[in-house]
Every structure is written in structure tokens, then in C-alpha cells.
Amino acid sequence: MEDFTVTTALWRWQSATAPAAWFFVTIAGEAADGIRMAAMTGQWLDGRKGFGSARVEANIGGTRWKTSVFPH
């Protein structure tokens, strides 16, 4: 798996009909190109289907977690 470092702002999506909210980052440039290629080839999916997503490990400060990104 390739490593990318991205410095960008988090943005919040708030549901219009429920009290739920999610936080996202928009990734651009070389990191976005690498993630898009990984999703297209399925190389980060560990043999599972991922709806066009790429499995990643993200970290902010000292907190690290596994998640997925969805290239557009």
C-alpha cells in the first residue's frame, strides 16, 4: 500500500432529516490520483468488493483507523 500525506480541512455533512452527521476530507492532486488508480484496479480491497472504494488507514494526530475512500 502506498502512503500519502494530505493536509486539508475536515468538512461536515449534516442530514436534513435526521440528527446524524459525518465528517469528510476532499483529497486532490497526486494523492487523489493514486487513490483513484488503486480503487480502479482493486489493489486495496483485499479480495473483497468495495463499490469502487479503496480501503485505507487514516490518521489524524495520534489517532489511526481503517476506513474507505470513494474516488470520483
Query: In this structure, what is the dihedral angle of CA atoms 41, 58, 24, 29, given to the nearest 10 degrees?
Result: -60
Mean pLDDT of the chain: 82
Task: Look at residue 26 and tell me whether its pLDDT is greater than 70.
Answer: yes
Interatomic CA distance for residues 56 and 48, integer angstroms: 14
Taking only the tens place, the pLDDT of each residue in 39-53 is 777 665 566 665 667
Angle CA(5)–CA(9)–CA(13) in degrees, nearest 5?
A: 120
Question: What's the pLDDT score for residue 60?
Answer: 87
pTM of this structure? 0.66
Task: Look at residue 63 and tell me whether its pLDDT is greater than 90.
Answer: yes
Question: What's the pLDDT score for residue 39?
Answer: 73
SS3 content of the chain, % helix, strand, coil (to 5): 20, 35, 50
Question: What's the pLDDT score for residue 66?
Answer: 92
Strands 63-69 and 21-25: unpaired
